[in-house]
Structure 1
Amino acid sequence: MTFAVTTKTERDLTGSAEAALHVAGASLTDGSHGRVGLEIEAHCVDPADPRRRPGWSELTSLIDALPPLPGGSAVTVEPGGALELSGPPAEGAPAAIAAMTADRAVLRAEVERAGLALLDLGADPLRPPRRVNPGPRYRAMERFFEASGTGVPGAAMMTSTASVQINIDAGPRDGWAQRVRLAHALGPTMIAVAANSPMLAGCFTGWLSSRQQVWGQLDSARCGPVLTASDDDPSTDWARYALKAPVMLVNRAGPEPGSEPVLDWVPFADWADGLMLLDGRRPTVEDLDYHLTTLFPPVRPRRWLEIRYLDAVPESLWPAIVFTVVTLLDHPQAADVAAEIVAPVAHAWDLAARVGLGDSRLFRAATRCVEMAAALAPDSLAEPMGLLAEMVARGRCPADDFADLAVRHGVAGAVGALTKGEL
């Protein structure tokens, strides 16, 4: 999903100070709020052989044969073969949900026609990590993670995880700090509500959101929250974060261009100031913009706010989870109340991913937040909001349901039955 286009130039940067100004200036767009864009990933599996990972040509042929999607989403293949729908921005959560629901229905039908199925889990519960997308960016990312000592979680992140991503307007400038703080503070509570990945590569991990566990094992300079101790100026915070983060990839110049991994720890600021040269040169503005695409915090400024901390969840629940997050951020009164509700667990990222609503503080926060969103939901979302409210009231998350299925039927049996609609 794209809210805006950043103009790029090949002009060299004069140093880290100019780089910081560029990042801060392009971090958030001053304006109203209300638009919502959704990006939803799902694992692609073979119901007849759940351990098989469909190949690149098989998936690209499927996508090439797709009819136009009614909601205007683009379809892409993630490194491990998951399919992602990226929708255009819509006015409000209900419109965005309706458009994405229509697109997912078409995609699911075409996937099934090809003899495959979509699996809505935050992590692949059965297959070991393996990349099928041959893109040079992903090959280079693999080498970077291996060199940095995070090869195992890096491979799992790229090829075995799936998420629901929500994009919302940044809103008026004078409210940025409060809005960004709340987007982060909601994270642990909503991770606990949406946790849907108790297994990874055939094993129970001991975490309800193994997807969040994997992200937590990666470099915090690249994947940790952007907030600082003061968090009063999100644009400056993002610039500081981006310049401290090590460079992952460089677009190589010359007759054979492509992405090259940086196998040493080189903060972008050092490259910009000429303390280190990569590809034998100083960085350009285009290099800086590319560097920003390799940073994966749970809330990422991209002129709008990109909320990245939710597991992929079943079709029956994701509309309610999306509506809850957007309502708690965009509805003025709900936002004020939500900020107070989630304050006691605002930094409990790992706890939420491990035990979900089994923690009493997270349970209380989730119950109140979901009840508040349900009271504001339109009739079109009454059914999914009712299901979500009931689940949360029982202290359960989607991961609990899948874990129960896996214990009863085995992992392969649970995956196969889910994709065939038998459970």
Structure 2
Amino acid sequence: MSDLLQTDAALEAPVTRRDALIDYFAGGSKPRSEWRVGTEYEKVCVDRKTGRAARYFGPRGIEAVLRRMADRFGWTPRLEGEHVIALEGRKATVTLEPGGQLELSGEACESIHCAHEELAEHVGEIVTVGDELGLAFLGLGIQPLSPLDDIEWVPKPRYRIMAPYMTRVGTLGHRMMKQTATVQANIDFDSERNAMQKMRLAMGLSPILTAAFANSPICDGRRNGYMSFRQHVWTDTDRDRCGLLPFVFAREAGFEDYADWALDVPMYFIRRGGRFVDLSGLPFREFLRHGAAGHHATMADWQLHLTTLFPEVRLKTYIEIRSVDSQPPERMLALPALVKGVFYDDDCLLGAWDLVKAWSWSERREIYDRSHREALEARIRGIRLLDLARELAKIARVGLERQNVRNGRGQNEAVHLDGLDRQLALGRSPAEEIAERWETEWEESIARLIEFTAYRLP
């Protein structure tokens, strides 16, 4: 899904009014007939024999994967100097996270069936190339074996600014950048009220989503004490820009509240003449008022700044739901399917809010933290997150069946919830299953973990 709703000239024009920054969000409003669902899929990649993180450089590295994909499947490479750091397609892009995690930013789709076709094609491409190079892409939320210092940085200039700043504001920021992987669903809204209603619900559901999709119990070659260590990592990355946002739960919350929060978050950088200018630590509000380093704020700077904020639910000209560990392909589409069923049906949206609306802020904070460690076994007011997740999945299925968008085999989009339902029927998250196997039949074998989680051709 794209933020580029204005002309380049409008984006580069100086901006001095706070109101203009608030109005930016309203520019994303769309009639219901134009609502789409976008999905972003990240994957960690390892050497199939050793289990160690794939390097970026070299004949068997991530750059080699991108070059082969470009040569064979029609992607257009995007360079940083002489190195390939992304691929552009007709409707999708492939980009890299700092540790070489491969991300497909998919087309904004009318249906989850469309997303399924896109994902299947992508999986076929990366598995084909990965097999040739002796690499495996894993359906996990974190690199399972390589310690942080063994993972190469992707050569993007922005990371040279972000990396040192993160060491000043938290202890786990580099883990977030280099080891973790997510699947993210992006949704539209038709008004400020609708946007904030969806933000509030998505933020409220965050612990349930985290628990249902928890999938990062092993890193550095051992159990890490969490079911979603990826989610725990966010709690000590940068408290200024991460986590739950309390103001979202106020009934009167609006775009102004999100803008004011974003204005007070320290910046990383701006971009001028194709280069990044380091403004790390400077709140955007100060940059708006006074400028910095000989530059003054533009709408493009605001747009860029918004991409460097990492709350559980992020507002741009659409809404990003960011609470979920990456999954194997057979469960990747469960998140966008669940989101479409719940958030694009008015009755289901209200029904889902009923699950979480009574919680106090302190309860939200507590269950948010507990979901990272305990996943579906965590309880709030005596109720397991497992039971809430099952109820949420039922609500989503009702929404999708009511929307009744069918594929060529006559199936509606609820078919994409089947993998999630099977997991919930077992009464445990993916992480709980992996942790149990790790400690019993696998005997802490990385090779067995890779065999279990590696992407395969259908």
Q: Same fold (TM over 0.5)?
A: yes
- Return closer, same or farther for 1:383/1:180 CA change in 2, 3 Å cut-off: closer
- Return closer, same or farther for 1:259/1:288 CA change in 2, 3 Å cut-off: same
| Partner-residue secondary structure (3-state), 2:44 | strand
Q: Does 1:138 align with 2:159?
A: yes
- Return closer, same or farther for 1:13/1:46 CA change in 2, 3 Å cut-off: same
CA contact (8 A) 2:55 2:152 kept: no
- Return closer, same or farther for 1:92/1:108 CA change in 2, 3 Å cut-off: same
Aligned residues: 410
Instruction: Output the CA distance in 2 between the equivalents of 1:294 and 1:391.
Output: 33
CA contact (8 A) 2:21 2:299 kept: no
> Mapping of 1:337-352 within 5 angstroms?
337-344=351-358, 347=364, 348-352=367-371
Higher mean C-alpha displacement, 29-38 vs 330-339: 29-38
| Partner-residue secondary structure (3-state), 2:333 | helix
> Mapping of 1:111-190 within 5 angstroms?
111-129=130-148, 130-146=151-167, 148-150=168-170, 152-190=171-209
| Partner-residue secondary structure (3-state), 1:214 | helix
- Return closer, same or farther for 1:404/1:238 CA change in 2, 3 Å cut-off: same
Q: Cα RMSD (Å) of the superposition?
A: 2.6
CA contact (8 A) 2:169 2:239 kept: no
CA contact (8 A) 1:252 1:279 kept: no
In structure 1, the residue matched to 2:396 is 373
- Return closer, same or farther for 1:269/1:123 CA change in 2, 3 Å cut-off: same
Offset at 1:52? Answer: 4.4
CA contact (8 A) 2:37 2:336 kept: no
- Return closer, same or farther for 1:301/1:382 CA change in 2, 3 Å cut-off: closer
- TM-score with structure 2 length normalisation? 0.82
In structure 2, the residue matched to 1:53 is 54
Instruction: Output the CA distance in 2 between the equivalents of 1:281 and 1:173.
Output: 31
Offset at 1:117? Answer: 1.3
Q: Name the aligned partner's letter for residue 61 of structure 1.
A: A
Q: Residue 65 of structure 1 is aligned with which of 47, 50, 68?
A: 68
Q: Residue 364 of structure 1 is aligned with which of 368, 387, 398?
A: 387
Offset at 1:4? Answer: 4.0
CA contact (8 A) 1:72 1:103 kept: no
Higher mean C-alpha displacement, 4-13 vs 119-128: 4-13
In structure 1, the residue matched to 2:79 is none
In structure 1, the residue matched to 2:250 is 230
CA contact (8 A) 2:41 2:326 kept: yes
| Partner-residue secondary structure (3-state), 2:329 | coil
- Return closer, same or farther for 1:272/1:83 CA change in 2, 3 Å cut-off: same
In structure 2, the gaps of 5 or more residues are 76-88
Q: Does 1:83 align with 2:102?
A: yes
> Mapping of 1:25-36 within 5 angstroms?
25-28=23-26, 29-33=28-32, 34-36=35-37
Q: Does 1:259 align with 2:272?
A: no
Q: Deviations over 1:173-204 (max 9, x none)?
A: 44222222112122111111011011232332
Q: Does 1:418 align with 2:452?
A: yes
Offset at 1:158? Answer: 0.7
CA contact (8 A) 2:264 2:284 kept: yes
Higher mean C-alpha displacement, 364-373 vs 284-293: 284-293
| Partner-residue secondary structure (3-state), 1:37 | strand
Instruction: Output the CA distance in 2 between the equivalents of 1:171 and 1:306.
Output: 15
Instruction: Output the CA distance in 2 between the equivalents of 1:134 and 1:303.
Output: 29
Q: Name the aligned partner's letter for residue 367 of structure 1.
A: R
Q: Does 1:23 align with 2:40?
A: no
- Return closer, same or farther for 1:177/1:252 CA change in 2, 3 Å cut-off: closer
